[in-house]
Chain A
Amino acid sequence: MRELGRIIERPRLVLALVVILLANGLLFLREQYEKDFCLDLDLPTGGVIFFDGSLTVTREEVDPRAAYRRYTELLDTMRDAPLPEAQRALEEEKETLTARLTGDESRDEDSLDYVAVNNLLKKVEYLAGYGDWLAGIERNKENLLTFSIFNDPDSFSGRNIIKTAEEFEKLRGVELSLVSDGAVGAFMSFRLTDYLLLLALLLVVLSFLEERKAGLWGVVHATPRGRLRLAARRAAILLSASALGVILLYGTDLLIGFTVYGGYGDLDCAVQSVETLGRLPMITSIGGFLLRFLLLRAAAAFLTGLLLWLMVAAVSNVKYTIVVAAAVLAGEYSLYTFLPVQSALNVLKYFNLFTYISLADLYVNYLNIDILGFPLGIRSISQFALVPLVLLLAALCIYVHCHKKPAAGRDLLGRAAYRINSLADKALRRLHIFGMELYKALWVQRGIIIAGLLIYVALGLTYKVNIAVTTSEEQAEKLYTAQFAGEITDDTFASIDAEQHELEVKISAYEEAQAAYSEGSMEYPEFDRLGREASSAKIKSAGLKNVRARCEELRLRGGEEGFTPWLIDDTPFESVYGPAAEANQQKAALTALLALTLLLAGCGAYERQSGMTFLLGSTPRGRGALLLRKLLLAAVMTALVWAAVYGMELYTLLTEFDITAWRAPAKNLPALPDFPFRCSLAAALALLYLCRWLALYSAAALVLLISSLVRRLEASYIAACALMLLPSLLWAYVGIEFLRPLALILPIEAAPVILSSGGGIAPYLLWLSALMLAAAASILRLFYVSERRGHRRAII
Chain B
Amino acid sequence: MSRRARLWVLAVGGLGLAVLLFAASLELPGFGGDWHPYGVRAVEAALARHTSNVVAAVNFDQRAFDTLGEESILFCAALGTVVLLRQTSDEHRVRPEPARVAPPVRRYALVALPVTLLIGLYIVAHGQLSPGGGFQGGVVVATALHLLYIAVDYRALERIRPIGLYAMADAAGEAAYLLLGAAGLIAGTAYLANVLPYGTFNTLASGGTVPLLNAAVGVEVASGVVVLLASFLDQAVEIVDADDPDSSGRNSDQDNSGRPRAPDNSDQPPAPDTSGRTPTPHNPPEEKPT
Query: Do A and B truly interact?
Result: no
